[in-house]
Structures are given as structure tokens and as C-alpha cells.
Structure 1
Amino acid sequence: MAQKTTPVRFELFGCEAMSGRDLRGFITNCRTEDLEKLTLRMKDGLGSSKYKPAEYEKLQAIVDAKQLQSAHIAQKVKRTLRTAKETKESSLLRQHRQVWSRENIKLANAGEKAEAELQGFLGLNGLGSTTDKEVLSELLDPELLLESELDVFRCATVEPIWQLREDLQYRLTEVQHQQQHQPPQPADWVKVLHQVNSVKDQQDAINRKLHTEYLAIEEDILSLGVEESSTKTADCLVPVDQVPEEFLNIDCPYPRLTASLIKEFQSLSEKYQSRLQSVQDRLQGLDRFCGWSADDHLRFQMTVSQYPPDLHNHRALYMDLLQRLFPHRSRQELTDHERHWDWQRFTQTQMHVVAQSWQRDRADLMFKALVTLEEARETHREELALHTDRKHHQDICSRLSDKLQKWRAHQEEVARLEAAIAGRQQEEKEDRLRREQERDSAMRSLQKEKVKQYYAEKQRRREELERRDQQRLTELRRFMAEQAKRDKERVQFREEALLQRRQEREAQALQHLKEEEERDSRLEALRNQVAVVAEPDPERMMGDTEAWRGRIMQQSGEEEFRLHRPLYHLNTYTDSQIVSDPRVRIELALRAAGLHDTLYAKEVLSVVQPPRPPRRDTDSTGFKSSTKSV
């Protein structure tokens, strides 16, 4: 039994040796449990009456049918994918053709416009004098020269290629006709290939020559410095002179103010230069072409400009076209270049914005500086006038202070003399005491006599000094008394002059008031002379006018509509009903006392009951809960 089951197992599970494609095609609805049950049954044996013998030919046919169906489905999927790819490609090409047609129309219109402007300019300048005609001929000569060179170049390069192409097409048709009768000769094909290779070599030489001329022209343009000037325009947005010349030439009486304004101009320029430098540093060393060659960058830029942002799916379209134009570059490189180009344009826009902001702030600062300088000059003129008045007052004060200093010096001298007299008196007292002590203690008469003589001489000198000090003190007191008398007279004179000036000003004010009263009286008399005198007539004022009476007479036949009852009934409360509510009266009393916003008012109003209890359907618990929370 085991010998019979073993080949059955290998044949049933022989699909393990199939390839991956055949396994994908062999799709059944069997589950793992069914396979395990079938294996167990095959192990038990096929000789039992329960099971039927396996039909291998039928199973192989089923497997072949499944494989065929899987291959058919795979081919259908491939066809579907190919059709979808072709449909997508045709859709992209159709959208590209639409964009190209619009761009072609735009370029044609621009060319026609430029040609029309050129012809109009040449026509206007060609109808003038002989000089104008000479200028026109000089302008037309390069154009004719370029056209002739273009014809020569076309005859030397393009027309041989077209002739070779037509010759090859003609030979191809002849070869197709000859193949039906006799095989082609290899010698003929060798000649044709030799001719094609020679034309290719000529075209390569022409392309190399054109590329060399292109590089030479590009070097000439670079030597002129056009690109450098265009790239450095953004760098020179903030000029080197940080302070305007017209501001430096303005005269200002305050040097510190001028220095502060110059410092403001310099700080403004430094701030915008730092901002411009920070914006330039964001480019991170990128050149004008963002790391690509000039031709590739120009082609990239022109391709992106053909697809405006308002076009649906414009980024996918120009990325597809860029991948076609640059097959040697990956999509990541194109995306990086696009990001670098956007960053460069954003940086240039920021540089222009910074330049505009600098010009605006510089103009505002210039205007404010001019206004400030004008105010400073006006203030300086006022200060000069005030300084003149102050100098006059200072002269008066200096004279008075000199007199006060002299008076103080005299007082100090008096105090010093009095102190000297008191000191001398004290010394005299001490000398007297000392003499008494010496007289009591001295034993020798000769020494006493000498001492007496000495003290007598000293006393004489002291008396002389005291006499002179007394005389000087008397003179100083007399001089100070005279000076005080003169100062008093001067002060009294100043008070009288001040009182006289005040009386004069009061008299002028009274005279001015009197003139105003006389002017008002004259004006009132004039008003009374021209006043309209009319008797009051309230009946005429409140009565109908003649026009109204005429209008009423015309409309006498029409019935007048009068409203005898109100348009609608009002269902509301009267003022007495509202005031009868105790809550309203309590709120008015609290409001009059200024307590309506306090917690006490909320407590009182929450306790007061209405005059009539509310209906059950209108009762609300929100106010109570809010009061409790408060």
C-alpha cells in the first residue's frame, strides 16, 4: 500500500518544482486544511471502499488549463500596462503640444510686434534727411550681411543633409523593388556608408567650428562685463557714501545734533548692508546658473517658463519635458536644480525688497533730519534771543553780586577785627595774670624793672593797635551805614518804577477795555439801525400758506383718509405696573446708592419675590444656581 501512495504524493505535490510564474498561474480554491486531510487519507490507503483512485491525466489537464489561464491573464496585464503607458504618454504629448502651440503663437506675436516696431522705427528714420538715410543704410547692412551668411551656411550644411536624405530614401525604395528580383550588391552599400560617414564627419567639423565661435563670442561678452554688471547690481543697491551729500552741506548750529544724525545715517546703511550681506550669504556660493552650464540652465529656464502656474499639473508637465531634454540627469538632480533656482530668485527678490526698504527708510530719515535741522535752527534763533536777554540780566546780577561780595568782605573784616580785639583782650588778661604771678615770684628788682619796661612798651603798642582798630571800625561802620542808605534809596526807586510801570499797564488795559466797550456799543447801535422790526403773529406762523390752500382746493374732490384707530394692539406693561414691582424699586434704590454691582445687591435681589408668583412653565433655576455660585 505504501508503494502505491508514494508516487501519488509526488505527483500531487509535483507543483513544488514549478517556476514562480507557473505557481502564480496555478490558483485554486483549496485550503491548507483540505490538503492536510487529503494527505492523511492518502496515507491511510486508496484500497478502501471510501476513496476512488486518482485520475492523473485529468489533474494534469486542470493544471495545464490553469497555467494557460494564468499566462493569458499575465499577457492581458502587460497589454493593459502598455496601453496605460501609451495613453499617459499620448496625454503628456498632447498637453505638451498645447503648451508648445501657445508658446509658438506667443513667440510669433512677439516676433511680429518686434518686426513691426523695427520697421516703423526704420520707416520713420528713413524719410528724413541724408544723414538719416545713411544711418538706415548702416543699420540694414549688418542685416543683409547676416542673411547672406545664413544662406551660405544653409547651402553648405543643411541642404547636403537633405539631399543625402532624399537620395537614401530613393535608394531604399529601389532596393525594396530589387529585392523581389535579385539580392543587393555589398559594394553599393559600402559606397553609401562611406558617403554617410563623410557627411557625418563634415557635420561634426561644422559643429566644432560653431562651438568654437560660440565660445569666442561668449568670451567677448564676458570681457565686456555685461554679466558682471547685471550680477553686481544687487550688490550696489546700498551705495558706498553712507551719508547724502545734500545733508552734509546743510549748516547746523548744533554739532552734536549733526553728529547724531550722521550716526543715524551710518547705522541705517550698516543695518541694510548687513541684511543684504546675510541675504547674499544664503546663496551658499551658487553662481548665476546654479551649478549647471549656461546652455543647460537657459534650456531649463525656458522650459519651466513655458508652463505657467495657472496651468493644470504644470510641474509634472515641465518635469516630464525636462527629463526628455536632459536624459543624462536624474529626477533628483532636476529637483535640486529647481530648488536652487527658486532659492536664487527668492534671494534676488529679497535683495530688491531690502533695497526698496533702504531707499524708503533713507528718504524718511532724510525728511526727518531736514525737519529736525529746521527746528534746530529755529530753536537756535530763539536761544540766541533768550541768551541776549539772559546776558543782560546776568550783567545786572553780576553787578549786584559784586556789591554783595564787597558787603560780605566788609562784614568779614569787621568780624575779624572784633575777633582780633577780643583775642588781644584775652591775651592782656592772661599777661596780667602772668605778671601778677611773676611779681609775686620774682625776687630780683632788676628783672622786675626790665619786665615792667617791656610790658609798658607792649602796652603802648597794644593801645596804638587798639586805637587804630577802633578808628578803622568806626570808619567801616560809617561807610556801611551810608551804603545801606544808598541801597535803601535804590530799592525804593526800583519799587516806585515797578509800581509806575504796573499802573501804566493797568491804565492801558482799562483803556483797551474802554475801547472794546465803545466798539461793542457802536456795533450794537449799527445792529439796532438795521434790525428787522416785525410784530409777532403766531396765527399766521402756524396757519396754512397760500400754496397749501391752493393745493387743498385742487384736491377738494378727493377724500382724506384719517386713521381713527391704531394699526395694532400693544400687549405690554404700563409704567405704574413696572414700578409696582418691588424688585424694580429695590434695583433703582441700589443703583441710586451705587451698590448695584456689588455682591450685596445680588444677594438682596435673589431673595426678593415678585408680586405675583411665576407660572410653572416659566420658572427658571439658572438665576438661583448662578447666585449660589457667586
Structure 2
Amino acid sequence: MNAGMGSGKYKPVCYETLQTLVEAKKRDSAQLEEKILRTRQAAQRSKETTLLRQHRQAWSREHGRLARARGKAESELQEFLGQGGADMEFLSQFLEYEGLLERERAAFLTATVEPIWQLRDDLRFRLTEERRGPSQPCEPDLILQQVQSVKGQQAEIEKKLRTEYLRLEREMSAMQTEECLSPIQEDPGHMGHVPTEILHSECPYPDLKASLIREFQGLSEKYRSRLETIKLNLQDLDRCCGWTPEDHLAFEVTVSQYPASVCLHRALYMDMLQRLLPHKARQELHEHERCWDQYRYTLEQRQTLIRSWRRDWAALLDEALSTLQEARLAHLRELAEWSDREQQQDTCARLRQKLLQWRLQQEEAGRLEEAAVARRREEEQERLRREQEQEDKRRTFEKERIREYRFEKHRRREELREIAEQRLAALRTLMTDRARRDKERVQFREEILQRRREEKEAQVLMRLREQEDKQERLESLRKEVAVFVGADPERMMKDTQASKNRYQTGAEEFVLHKPLYHLHTYTDAQVTSDPRLRIECALREAGLHNALYAQEVLSGIHPKRPPRRDTESTGFRF
């Protein structure tokens, strides 16, 4: 290698230039990353703003609906009380209880909320006084002690309220008020018994009465078997779907605030649930939503089944009572017309045929209801399956886009790296040639400067000799033409003849009130407002105005306002 370097085979490397290029690339990469980060943050802020605006719209509609419902309920209550629909004793007890609740609420606010507001107002007043200027010395330790005391009191109050809430919840659970307030409750004992109107009715035909009893028992048995199936399904499902009651209550209230009429209601309440329940993952929310839909669907199916049983029970009871009435009338006619046995047989046959026809109709109606319930269940399952498939397709598409983006980014990096290597090799060759030419130029310039320096020194010496000779001649002339005048202070202090003439004639001096000509050019503020000038000055201060990085940066910057078409140059550009 020593022999090669001595022969000129290996050329020296300019590490300062390489370091400048590396730093320029690093700055470019840092600016690109910062730009991507700003874009991502702007997109997140835009998405968050859009979601909050949609939430506010949904909440405003929900607030209006609740306000209307509350006004309607209050008007109905006032109308009911005004019409005397309630007992006076009950109304008086109700008003007394309302007054007691208001007094307890006022006492609670006085004991808990008002001290906090007073402390806040006091702290704000003290902060205002501190900003204006310390008028009196403050005691921060005493203020912190008061704040900590209020915090401790509020924590104790919250603990007591939480204990009272849990106690009331346990009492309500023990009293089973939720089951009592349920709109539809099944009663298996009542569902299985035969109405007393049929059992204790006087029917002249025992077989007809037995057939009616069997119809009631068959109807009850059919609906009881369906109800048992639904009960088994409900046993597998929990009312809170495996969550705590607080989380499930928050989930249920949030979902109810976004009805299906709201655009993108599912995305909105999912976003709100993620805000309210940050400890729950999105997959858990989806699973809980499916479980809750299945639980509500099962409850709705049970209520529909009970309503159908009650409707069929009432229809069968009406039909049985009408049948018994017709049977009594027929028996009376039979007693009145004992001889007409054929008509009696025809009547019984007609009644049996009607009962059989009604039974067939009820069975067909039951089959249709079962088919409708099964169809709704299949539609719900198909809808859930489609949503899952759409979610899987979306995730697959996003993964494919990410994979393509990464491949394209890797390819671009490889291309940029190859281009940089080629450019670096060309720059190395160019810089080597330039260094050689610069070295020859410097030697030539030093020789020229040396000759010019010698010529200038000779000229300076000659000029100094000429000035000395000139000063000597001038000094001799001054001595020859020198004038000697005596001192006259009075003449020096009095006015001149020209000033006297100007004061006598009253002529005014000419004052120029406007410029001689107008300037049509740019101001310094307009020139410095151009981003190209500011960036070029920054590059010059950094010593990078001759680097390739400066050329790339300046070529990509455009002025704030594009130039006019008539000022654009159409000549050659070098």
C-alpha cells in the first residue's frame, strides 16, 4: 500500500466533505420524519375533532328527546293530580316526602358542595391578589392544610355514599323489585292450569268438556316446553354478560344514547365506550355487544312467547265459552225437542269439526310463529357473520397495504442509496480534479500577487516622494501669500450684508416637501419575507450554500406568490 500511495494509485479522501454529506442526509431524514409525525398528529386531531362533533350532535338530540319526555311526564303527572286521579291522603304523603327529599338535598349541598365552591372562590381571589401584588403575607402551608382537609372530608363523604349505595342495592336485590317491575312475568303454575270457567262450567256433554280441557292442557304444554327451552338459554347467559354491574350499566346507557337513526351510531358508541371503559379492549367490547344482543333477543323471544300464549289462551277461552254456550243452547233445544236426535248429532259433529278446525288453525299459527322466530334468528346470525367477514376483509386489506408500503419504501431506499453512491463517486472524481486545478491556480495567483505587491510598493514609495515634494512647494507658496489681519470682534459678531438683505425683503427659504422622484421597487420587509432569501442566508451562515444539499433544498422552494406570466423569462437557462 505504501508503494501504491507513493505511485499515486490510491487517492486521499476528503472526510470533511463526506461528513457534510452525511449530516445533510441526516437532516433531510429528520425533517421527513418530523413531517410524517406532524401529518399523523394532524390526522389524529382531525379524527378526534370529527368524533367529538358527532358526539355533541348525538348528545344534543338525546338531550332534547329526554327534555321532551320529561316535560311530557310532568304534564301528565300534573294533569293526573289535577283531575283528582290520586287519593288525597296519598297525595299529601307524596308531597311531604318530596319536601323531605328537597330539604335533605339542600342540607347535603350545604354540607358537601358549598364548602368546595367557597374554597375555590377563596383560592381564585387569592391568586388574583397575588397577581396584582402581595398586599399581605400569605400562608401556603395553611392553605394546603385547608385543601387537604376538604379533600379528606370529600373522600369520607364519597365513601359513605358508596356504602349507602351498596346497601340500597342489596336491599333492592333482596326485595326482588326488578322482577316485580318486569312488564311480563311467566307463571308456570298459572300457565298449566285450566280456567275455572271451564272446570266448573255446566256442560251437558262430558266429552266436549274433556276435549276443551285437553285443548287447554295441550296449549299450555306446548308453550311451557318452548318457555323451558328459552329458560335454558337464559341460564347460560348472564344479565351483565360476564361484566361487573357498573361496567354493564355504563355500556347499556352509552348504547341507548346512540339510536339506530343516528349516522354511524355503532362507531360513535364504540368510541365512547373506549373512552368510558379504557380497561376494556375493543375485542371485549365486540364480544360483550354480541352477548348482550343475544341476551336481549332471548328476552324479546320470551316476551313474544308469553304474549302469544296469553293471546291464544284468551282466544281459546273465548272460543270455549262460546262453544259451551252453544252446547247449552243445543242441549236446551234437545230437551225441548227430544225427538230430534239427528239434529243433536249434527250439532255435536259441527262443534267438533269447528274445534278441530280451530285446533288446526292454532297449530298452523304456532308453526308460522316458530318459522318467523327461526328466520329472525338466522337473519341476526347472518348479519353478525357478514359484519365479521367485513371486519376480516378490512384487516386483510390494511395488512396488504402496509406490506406494499413497506416493500415500496425498501425499494425507494435502495434506489436512493444507489443514486447516492453513484453521486458520491462522481463527486469524489470531480473534487480530485478540482483540487489539482485549484492547487495550480493558487500557485499562479501567488506569483501574480507577489509581482503586483512589488509594483505597488514601488508606486507607493514614488507617490510618497511626490507628496513630500508637493507639500514643500505648497508650504513655500503659503509663506509667500500669507495675509496678516488684525483682530476685530465687533465685525465678527454683527450680521452680514446678505442676511440683512434677506430679512429686509422677507424672502423665505425654499423647503422641499416631497421627494424629487418616486421609487418603484421592493421594500426591505418585502425582500426579507421571501422564504428563499431566508433559507439561503441560513445556509450561508451554516457554510452549506455551495453543497448539493443546498441546491436540492433551494430548487424545491417556491415563492409565496407565483410570478406574473409577462415577467417570466423565455430565454436560455444556464
Task: Give TM-score, length-normalised by structure 2.
Answer: 0.51
Aligned-partner Cα distance in 2 for 1:61–1:196: 58
Q: Does 1:203 align with 2:154?
A: yes
Select which of 314, 324, 330 maps to 2:265: 314
Q: Whole-Å Cα distance in 1 between the matches of residues 92 and 120 of structure 2?
A: 40
Aligned residue identity for 1:160: P
Once residues 150 and 373 of structure 1 are traced to their aligned partners in structure 2, the CA distance between those partners, rounded to angstroms, is 62
The answer as to whether partners of 1:252 and 1:373 remain within 8 angstroms in 2 is yes
Cα distance in 2, alignment partners of residues 3 and 120 from structure 1: 114
Q: How does 1:109-188 map to 2 (within 5 A)?
A: 109-123=68-82, 125=84, 132=88, 137-174=92-129, 188=139
Alignment of 1:136-535 (within 5 A): 137-174=92-129, 188-230=139-181, 233-236=184-187, 239-252=190-203, 254-366=205-317, 369=320, 381=334, 385=339
1:309 and 1:215 map into 2 onto residues whose CA distance is 34
Shift of 1:148: 2.1
Contact conserved, 1:283 with 1:344, CA < 8 A, in 2? Answer: yes
The one-letter code matched in structure 1 to 2:65 is K
Contact 2:58 2:262 in 1 (8 A): no
1:65-76 aligned at under 5 Å gives the runs: 65-76=24-35
What code does the residue aligned with 1:150 have? R
Q: Which has the larger radius of gyration?
A: 1
Contact 2:255 2:269 in 1 (8 A): yes
Q: 1:362 to 1:3 in 2, by over 3 A?
A: farther
Aligned counterparts of 2:38 and 2:117: Cα–Cα separation in 1: 38
User: Residues 63, 46 of structure 1: CA spacing in aligned structure 2 closer, same or farther, 3 A cutoff?
Assistant: farther
Report if the CA contact (8 A) 2:58-2:258 is conserved.
yes
Show the counterpart of 1:595: none
Q: What secondary structure is seen at the aligned counterpart in 2 of 1:334?
A: helix
Structure 1 pair 360/234, CA: closer, same or farther in 2 (3 Å)? same
Residue in 2 that maps onto 1:97? 56
In the superposition, relative to structure 1, how do residues 374 and 153 fare at CA in structure 2: closer, same or farther (>3 Å)?
A: closer
Distance across 2 between alignment mates of 1:113 and 1:46: 104
What TM-score, normalized by structure 1, do the two folds share? 0.47
Per-residue deviation, 1:204: 1.1
* Contact 1:254-1:376 at 8 Å conserved across structures: yes
The separation in 1 between residues aligned to 2:30 and 2:245, in whole angstroms, is 52
Aligned partner letter, 1:334: L
Higher relative contact order (CA 8 A, sep 6+): 2
Q: 1:147 to 1:207 in 2, by over 3 A?
A: same
Between the aligned partners of 1:333 and 1:4, the Cα distance in structure 2 is 72
- Contact 2:192-2:221 within 8 A present in 1 as well: no
- What are the equivalent positions in structure 2 for 1:67-86 lying under 5 Å apart? 67-86=26-45
Q: Which moved more, 1:346-355 or 1:253-262?
A: 253-262
Shift, 1:372, TM fit: 6.4
Alignment partner, residue 568 of structure 1: none
How many equivalent pairs are there?
A: 339
Instruction: Classify 1:177/1:71 alpha carbon distance in 2 versus 1 (closer, same or farther; 3 Å).
Output: farther
* CA spacing shift, 1:140–1:262, aligned 2, 3 Å: closer
Q: Per the alignment, in what secondary structure is the counterpart of residue 190 of structure 2?
A: coil
User: Cα deviations across residues 345-389 of structure 1 (Å, max 9, x unaligned)?
Assistant: 11111012112222343345446656766787759959974779x
Letter in 2 for 1:213: E
Q: 1 CA distance for matches of 2:2 and 2:232?
A: 85
Kept in 1: contact 2:184–2:303 (CA 8 A): no
Indicate the percent of aligned positions where both proteins have the same amino acid: 51
Task: Label 1:358 to 1:76 Cα distance change in 2 as closer, same or farther (>3 A).
Answer: same
Paired residues of 1:237 and 1:355 also in contact (CA < 8 A): no
Aligned amino acid, residue 47 of structure 2: K
Cα offset, 1:313, TM superposition: 1.0
Displacement of 1:321 in angstroms is 1.2
CA distance, structure 2, for counterparts of residue 78 and residue 226 of structure 1? 56
Instruction: From the superposition, tell whether residues 46 and 169 of structure 1 become closer, same or farther in structure 2 (CA, over 3 Å).
Output: farther
Shift of 1:300: 2.4
- Contact 1:238 / 1:358 at 8 angstroms: preserved in 2? no
Q: Contact 1:92–1:317 at 8 Å: present in 2 too? A: yes
* Aligned CA distance change for structure 1 residues 100 and 368 (closer, same or farther; 3 Å): closer
1:59 and 2:18 correspond: yes
Deviation at 1:280, TM superposition (A): 2.0
- Please tell me the residue identity of whatever aligns with 1:112: G
Query: Per-residue CA shift, 1:228-257, capped at 9, x if unaligned?
Result: 324594332782443222222344455445
Change (3 A) 1:269 1:189: same
Deviations 1:505-542 (A, max 9, x none): xxxxxxxxxxxxxxxxxxxxxxxxxxxxxxxxxxxxxx
In structure 2, stretches of 5+ residues that fail to align are 343-574
Secondary structure of the residue that 1:101 maps to in structure 2? helix
In 2, the alpha carbon distance for the partners of 1:4 and 1:356 equals 104
User: Aligned partners of 2:71, 2:252: CA distance in 1, in Å?
Assistant: 23
Q: 1:258 to 1:122 in 2, by over 3 A?
A: closer
Residue type matched to 1:62 in 2? L
**CA displacement at 1:279 relative to structure 2:** 1.3
Q: Deviations over 1:12-68 (max 9, x none)?
A: xxxxxxxxxxxxxxxxxxxxxxxxxxxxxxxxx9956xx976544333322221111
Aligned to 2:528: none
Q: Is the CA contact (8 Å cut-off) linking 1:234 and 1:351 kept in structure 2?
A: no
Question: Does structure 2 retain, via aligned residues, the 8 Å contact 1:243–1:266?
Answer: yes
Give how far 1:74 is off: 0.7
8 Å CA contact 1:238–1:269 kept in 2: the answer is no
> By how many angstroms is 1:157 displaced?
0.7
The one-letter amino acid of 2:142's match is K
- Letter of the structure 1 residue corresponding to residue 210 of structure 2: A
